[in-house]
Structure 1
Amino acid sequence: MKHHRTRATLTSTGLGLLLMAPGCLPDLPGTDDEWGGTLDETIGDELGETTFGEEESSSEEESSSEEGSSSEEESSSEEESSSEEESSSEEESSSEEESSSEEESSSEEESSSEEESSSEEESSSEEESSSEEESSSEEESSSEEESSSEEESSSEEESSSEEGSSSTEEESTEEESTEEESTEEESSEEGTSEETGNEEFCGLVMHSRRSLIETAPAALDGTSLEELLAQAASTTDLVADADFTYTRLFDSFTTSDAGVLAGGSHCDDELVDGQATLNGFPLACPRDEAEHVSDLDSWFPVAYVNRFDLAAADGSDCGEQRVIMASNSLGRAFIIFEARIPNPTPECGPAACMPVATFWAKLGQMEDPVERGEQLRAAFLHGHEDLEAAGFEPFMTGVNMTFGSGQIRTNTFDDNPWTLRQFEFTTEDDRLGVVEVPVSNNSQARLWNDLDDHPAGLACRASILANLDSLVSDNVARMDLPLAPACFAAESRDNDGEIDYAEALLAGSGEFEASLAEKLEELGSDLSPVEVANRAAFASNCMGCHANANGFDLGHGMSAPSSMGFVHVNELFTQTCDGLPCFAMSPALREEFLPDRESVMEDYLDEFCEAVCDPSGAADADALLLGPATVGLPDGYTPLDELLAWEQAYEGSLAPLTMGGRPRSVH
């Protein structure tokens, strides 16, 4: 099954179906191990000042198998270098085994017939199944004929996927074609799964930075916001009018009367007693960010981000891929494009996401930032050959950032206070529109005070209790708090005491505090209600993670890690990586988040490098046919509450957890 990205729209008809869309844990993490330098930070004022040590990575290892496959490995310590050399040695040994014509036929699945190796010397083993050049070579035609007949007569124990692979390779002659039909019939009768060819990816080595995030200007150069918006439209069969889409985005920061364009989102669309609101929470209106409408060319990229760790546990999607753009034309402003990548063959489960994981793993082996940049621009904007062959469209496709998939976020300092807002792509006739939505899983502190009279307060406190287990982990990278959509704030901003959940909790009657203590006891946790409130302020509030909760007491001797003066990737400073400048990253990214995301990727590669298609995910595949990757972008003229209701119901039909074991709705 393929996802068909033909343009379609959702109308108000049948929209009885709000995603608890991703929350606000940082977009980017990392360790010092592969940086080529140490970072000493003195965060001052809002921006912070950074000085850098002179240490550089002491060893860079390159290894290549006899087949020409390379695995470049770097290490900042002799201990890691030694470990990676062993890994490299094992990979070379593995490659030699695979490349040897005498040992090819002794792959795992064909090990039951070692005597066949002499006649199958040039026949295709399981590892060769992904290489069409071998199946078409003249050398194997005669031995294939012989080996395939032996295969049929002596090995019923081989999986149907091997038989399908063998039959595909036997198409070169009429006699082999007959054998292929016979093999396909056997495969159909047995009803077993089909090989994905992932074996070639076994042994890939992750790089602790390049396989997770790219912040080197040399790799980022050449990517413009205009091109990104144009591609998001054209890949969704819409007119590529970047100026229109960009204006829609920043027109939302002013009133409908003052807007440049009629229609679309404006900050005064929802008024309560004369106060601009969204989802029942206050929204600052207007703001200076509206002046950005005339500076499309002022934006530059600061990071490509791999969020494969957000992939659904059932493989219904393959995580998120992100681009961070920055502008200093008015002050400081960022746009983060957070594209959720649909699985092109969801009936195969997580195994079908392997091309995305290996794309990034292979980037880690490329030392040249210019070469990495070419690969990244292809994958994100124009279509990467290897990814397209597996059914993946360019990551920055419009349908990957709409209701039921990903999102767009702005993080701006052009006006006071600092604010983060969230948007979704829609269609407006034949052009790409933008609609402002509440910030997913981001709530205000007042909801922790049971004496506060907010209409959603009671329901939100119930939601906090129901999801409290997601805060008890002592891994700060996996702390989170999914919430009911009624709790989502209009924006995450630096004022009004919206961040100090513990203070709000203690200002209440004490009943909610007691309920929290009781729930924590049920969960077997010795955390106090105040400590868990601090964890929530850090893990489920954008402002908390970016600044205000830094240093909060999280219990068990832990404190919330630091950002870099409101940001996690700083466009104003660089640090040395691979001997070249890279945009600087926060301690939280380097020391907490990237290492955890690396472990998720490594576990996935280990588990699925030999995986086969598992048709048990057919029900999930059917559910995805109702999603944006197939249905297309929704009509921007549809009322927002209907779009949010549809999103909530649709997301509720998919896997609740990510491959990393966290709720899919937060990050």
Structure 2
Amino acid sequence: MITSSIKAASRRIVASVLGGCMATAPLSAQPCAPTIDPDRSIVVHDPALLKEPFALRKVIAQLLRDLPVPASGADAEAALMASLVATFAKSEEVNPISNVVMKVDVRPGENQLVASRLLDPDDEYGLVPVGLFNRLDLAPRNFRNCGEYRIVYAFKAPISPPKVGKFDDRFFLIFEMKMPNPQFVGAAGCLGLADFWRDLSDIEDDAQRIEALRKFYFDGIPGYTPGPIHPHHLGALGQLRGNLFIEDKWQLREWKLLSTDPGRFVMEPVKSNPLAELYVDAGKKADGLDPLRAEFHAAFVAHKGILEGLLEPELVFIPKAMMTDPRLNPHSPAFDRSHYEKVVVNRVGLPTPDGRFNEFQSDSQGTLDVPEENLGSDFRNDITFALQKLLTGFPLGASVTIDDVMARAGAATCGGCHQHANEKPIGTVNTVTFNWPTTQNNKGFVHITETGQLSKTLTDSMIPFRRDTLAKFICDPPLDETAGLGYLQERFEAALADYNQTLTDYRLTRLNVITTLQRDALTQGGPPATAAELTDAERKVTARFEESLRQKMEAVGDAERNLPGAFVENRRPH
């Protein structure tokens, strides 16, 4: 159980938010050191235990039930999954922020998937749960949400021999659901959620622990309702990610749930994945992208731009943190290289002003999406010039090269984190180079396999960081920093209000059109409006609002991503 000092810390932060209305006991002299079992409180990855409680059909059914216009039944469930499958036939999409048309690979193998089979856990193409991920570490600094809570689905096993291509057929879907802070009181509003996940470490009985998680995800827990599985948490506030291996080129994509009638999944740009062609020098390709390319180049080297985000660990965090943590000081006898490297790996991010640069797919195979393979010589010189100035702010003994910067830019993307950044140098400390970690131990470079096995990137670097983050948050939760966020906070609140208003307008317009159609039929003495006429009217309303809803969903996501993180300044979304 959590020690009295931890609970006292929780009470103190709540009391500070509530104006001292809560009595707090003196802190115990006992150090705060909560016991956290990563396999219970950070990543739950036993597919046998998860199979029935987290069956994909149950998740889809709940999403449909909670839509503004609820739906139910096997046909509706299959239709929602079919909306995702249909996106694999597309050859282009329009970035909703920049309005630039971006090419998308048609993927016939994935487009042939049958929705009803994906929902059947006994089918070889049925998707089954393989992992639950606690991502409290993705909370923004204002704690407007308490991070993401994810469910990963995969085939029961790679399909061999493959039906398509030369490699085994594999397919992963990750439901990445942000959990709003229900009390809007900063860190205090997320402490109960942190306690819930920490307390899972104390539950010895597997069935009891999984049941607690099932209730959390589907129903919510006291003070945190609804649970993560809700349309809003996969729309404006979250996303669905796909890891695709049926066509031979391994690729990652993202979708959002559009809360229209009927609800459906729509493609969205993959976060932190700038279009690789933007690294090319201006005037070198006749692709019509030079105006966007100029914006990207300027954003990369700007003050507090992309380059500074990639260097944030050594430029901002470590110089401050090493004053109290000598393990991060390259010239301290207590310097701990392993700890230093983990800090860098977990803090590297790729901040952009908004999602205008992001494309709709991230390749992990080949060199098409590798930044250094696309980097033009002029742009390379510009980055090198800016880098030399920034290196003067690094701790003595720390350094990066232009190649390290490009490796970090790749690692911050989906494809790079999974594959093409593996074991590439990303920096030097005390003359020794260190690399991005690897996924190569894990049956083809995924972070979690069909059997629940985890990559070394997770087990050696990221899970220890997330475990320590949870412990620190419970022991020493930060005070509310909303007031210091200024424009960024205002931008997020305005975007969320605008999206919610547009969604309300859609619902009211739809209801008004249907009501008017039915009333006119009655007052004119004709037959009642047919189901086909009502459906046609609903579709016209949906078509009228769809583009606006998609743009405003993306605007909310952009504004949320631009908030600094509570635990990491530039949060990597994958």
With normalisation by structure 2, the TM-score equals 0.70
Which of the numbers 130, 135, 140 marks the counterpart of 1:302? 130
Which of the numbers 530, 554, 564 marks the counterpart of 2:403? 530
2:142·2:482 contact (CA, 8 Å) conserved in 1? no
Q: Secondary structure at the match of 1:359?
A: helix
Q: Which residue of 2 aligns with 1:461?
A: 297
Structure 1 position 392 matched with structure 2 position 392: no
User: Structure 1 218/441 Cα, relative in aligned 2: closer, same or farther at 3 Å?
Assistant: same
Q: Which residue of 1 aligns with 2:531?
A: none
Q: Secondary structure at the match of 2:450?
A: strand
Structure 1 position 335 matched with structure 2 position 173: yes
Question: What is the aligned residue count?
Answer: 458
Q: Which residue of 2 aligns with 1:644?
A: 551
User: Structure 1 498/657 Cα, relative in aligned 2: closer, same or farther at 3 Å?
Assistant: same
Q: Which residue of 1 aligns with 2:526?
A: none
Deviation at 1:446, TM superposition (A): 3.0
Residues of 2 paired with 1:498 and 1:209: CA distance?
36
User: Structure 1 587/197 Cα, relative in aligned 2: closer, same or farther at 3 Å?
Assistant: farther
Q: Which residue of 1 aligns with 2:436?
A: 560
Q: Which residue of 2 aligns with 1:317?
A: 145
Q: Secondary structure at the match of 1:252?
A: helix
Per-residue displacement from partner, 1:483-524 (whole Å, max 9, x unpaired)?
Answer: 242210120124562333223336557533434434534654
2:14·2:188 contact (CA, 8 Å) conserved in 1? no
Q: Secondary structure at the match of 1:349?
A: coil
User: Structure 1 617/203 Cα, relative in aligned 2: closer, same or farther at 3 Å?
Assistant: farther
Residues of 2 paired with 1:520 and 1:305: CA distance?
35
Answer with 220-229 or 191-200: which moved more. 191-200
1:349·1:617 contact (CA, 8 Å) conserved in 2? no
2:235·2:259 contact (CA, 8 Å) conserved in 1? no
Which of the numbers 257, 264, 285 marks the counterpart of 1:425? 257
Which of the numbers 409, 417, 420 marks the counterpart of 1:548? 420
Residues of 1 paired with 2:27 and 2:228: CA distance?
24
Which of the numbers 490, 502, 509 marks the counterpart of 2:372? 502
Deviation at 1:391, TM superposition (A): 3.7
Q: Aligned runs of 1:8-27 on 2, under 5 Å?
A: none
Q: Aligned runs of 1:113-132 on 2, under 5 Å?
A: none
Per-residue displacement from partner, 1:68-91 (whole Å, max 9, x unpaired)?
Answer: xx46xxxxxxxxxxxxxxxxxxx4
Per-residue displacement from partner, 1:216-253 (whole Å, max 9, x unpaired)?
Answer: 13431312111101112223442133212111011111
Per-residue displacement from partner, 1:556-584 (whole Å, max 9, x unpaired)?
Answer: 11111111223000114xxxxxxxxxx21
1:401·1:424 contact (CA, 8 Å) conserved in 2? yes
Identity %: 23
Q: Secondary structure at the match of 1:206?
A: coil
Deviation at 1:161, TM superposition (A): 5.8
Task: For 1:192, give the aligned amino acid.
Answer: G
Residues of 2 paired with 1:588 and 1:505: CA distance?
26
User: Structure 1 593/509 Cα, relative in aligned 2: closer, same or farther at 3 Å?
Assistant: closer
Deviation at 1:286, TM superposition (A): 4.0
Deviation at 1:469, TM superposition (A): 1.9
Per-residue displacement from partner, 1:509-568 (whole Å, max 9, x unpaired)?
Answer: 7533434434534654731111111111112x2111111211111121111111122300
Q: Which residue of 1 aligns with 2:63?
A: 232
Q: Which residue of 1 aligns with 2:320?
A: none
Residues of 1 paired with 2:195 and 2:360: CA distance?
37
User: Structure 1 612/549 Cα, relative in aligned 2: closer, same or farther at 3 Å?
Assistant: closer
Structure 1 position 366 matched with structure 2 position 216: no
1:218·1:370 contact (CA, 8 Å) conserved in 2? no
With normalisation by structure 1, the TM-score equals 0.61
Higher helix share goes to which structure?
Answer: 2
Q: Secondary structure at the match of 1:314?
A: coil
1:309·1:600 contact (CA, 8 Å) conserved in 2? yes
Which of the numbers 16, 41, 66 marks the counterpart of 1:211? 41
Which of the numbers 478, 483, 494 marks the counterpart of 2:347? 478
2:499·2:553 contact (CA, 8 Å) conserved in 1? no
Q: Which residue of 2 aligns with 1:350?
A: 187
Structure 1 position 441 matched with structure 2 position 441: no
User: Structure 1 613/500 Cα, relative in aligned 2: closer, same or farther at 3 Å?
Assistant: closer
User: Structure 1 628/340 Cα, relative in aligned 2: closer, same or farther at 3 Å?
Assistant: farther
Which of the numbers 458, 481, 497 marks the counterpart of 1:626? 497
User: Structure 1 326/656 Cα, relative in aligned 2: closer, same or farther at 3 Å?
Assistant: same
Task: For 2:217, give the aligned amino acid.
Answer: F
Q: Aligned runs of 1:28-177 on 2, under 5 Å?
A: 70=1, 91=3
1:207·1:364 contact (CA, 8 Å) conserved in 2? yes
Q: Secondary structure at the match of 2:38?
A: coil
Residues of 2 paired with 1:373 and 1:480: CA distance?
33
Unaligned runs of 5+ in 2: 121-125, 164-168, 314-340, 507-541
RMSD of aligned residue pairs (Cα, Å) = 3.9
Residues of 2 paired with 1:194 and 1:666: CA distance?
37
Task: For 2:170, give the aligned amino acid.
Answer: R
Structure 1 position 662 matched with structure 2 position 569: yes
Task: For 1:503, give the aligned amino acid.
Answer: E
Answer with 502-511 or 457-466: which moved more. 502-511
2:243·2:251 contact (CA, 8 Å) conserved in 1? yes
Residues of 2 paired with 1:600 and 1:421: CA distance?
28
Per-residue displacement from partner, 1:397-435 (whole Å, max 9, x unpaired)?
Answer: 1101113x1100111101121111110011232x32111
Q: Which residue of 2 aligns with 1:155?
A: none
Structure 1 position 514 matched with structure 2 position 384: yes
Task: For 1:558, give the aligned amino acid.
Answer: F
2:137·2:469 contact (CA, 8 Å) conserved in 1? yes
Residues of 2 paired with 1:220 and 1:392: CA distance?
22
Q: Which residue of 1 aligns with 2:538?
A: none
Q: Secondary structure at the match of 2:471?
A: helix
Unaligned runs of 5+ in 1: 1-69, 72-90, 99-106, 109-125, 128-157, 163-186, 255-266, 573-582
Task: For 1:554, give the aligned amino acid.
Answer: I
User: Structure 1 537/558 Cα, relative in aligned 2: closer, same or farther at 3 Å?
Assistant: same
User: Structure 1 215/391 Cα, relative in aligned 2: closer, same or farther at 3 Å?
Assistant: closer
Deviation at 1:462, TM superposition (A): 1.9
Q: Which residue of 1 aligns with 2:235?
A: 402
Task: For 2:37, give the aligned amino acid.
Answer: H
Per-residue displacement from partner, 1:253-285 (whole Å, max 9, x unpaired)?
Answer: 12xxxxxxxxxxxx146499xxxx995332111
Task: For 1:228, give the aligned amino acid.
Answer: V
Q: Which residue of 1 aligns with 2:467?
A: 598
User: Structure 1 394/496 Cα, relative in aligned 2: closer, same or farther at 3 Å?
Assistant: same
Which of the numbers 458, 462, 468 marks the counterpart of 1:589? 458
1:623·1:654 contact (CA, 8 Å) conserved in 2? no
Deviation at 1:326, TM superposition (A): 0.6
Q: Name the structure, 1 or 2, with higher relative contact order (CA <8 Å, separation 6+).
A: 1
User: Structure 1 585/450 Cα, relative in aligned 2: closer, same or farther at 3 Å?
Assistant: same
Q: Which residue of 1 aligns with 2:110?
A: 289
